[in-house]
Amino acid sequence: MLESAFREGRISRETYEANLAKLGVTIARPAEDAAAVLRRAHQEGKVDRTLYARNLIRILGVSADPRVANLESAFLAGKIDAELFEKNLRRLKEPPR
């Protein structure tokens, strides 16, 4: 019942987690996606384009792919935005179909 109240938006995450803690239930909550943290920092102006690009490439583990250089150049030159840059880098991680 507690979980459904949270899913349906009747209680906040904080309330949900506080109640679980009171019940002695621990949940395996995935760590926040490092790429999401980096994206937010870039959007807030805390990380410049170059640092964002280099770290995103590292986080996603695609630095060995030769196509990354073209994507990085296009992003740094302002030809593609951060959303498209990340989307294309993630596509490089996918196995060929």
DSSP string, 29-61: PPPPPHHHHHHHHHHTTSS-HHHHHHHHHHHHT
- Backbone phi and psi for residue 80, each to the nearest 5 degrees, phi listed first: -130, 150
Report residue 19 as tokens: 């109640």
Report residue 40 as tokens: 């937010």
Q: Does the predicted model carry a pTM greater than 0.85?
A: no
Going by pLDDT thresholds of 50, 70 and 90, the confidence category of residue 66 is: very high
Q: Is 93:66 a contact under the CB 8 Å cutoff? A: no
Residue that wins the pLDDT comparison between 20 and 29: 20
Q: Where are the domains of the chain?
A: 1-30, 34-93
Q: Is 41:82 a contact under the CB 8 Å cutoff? A: no
Amino acid symbol at 62? V
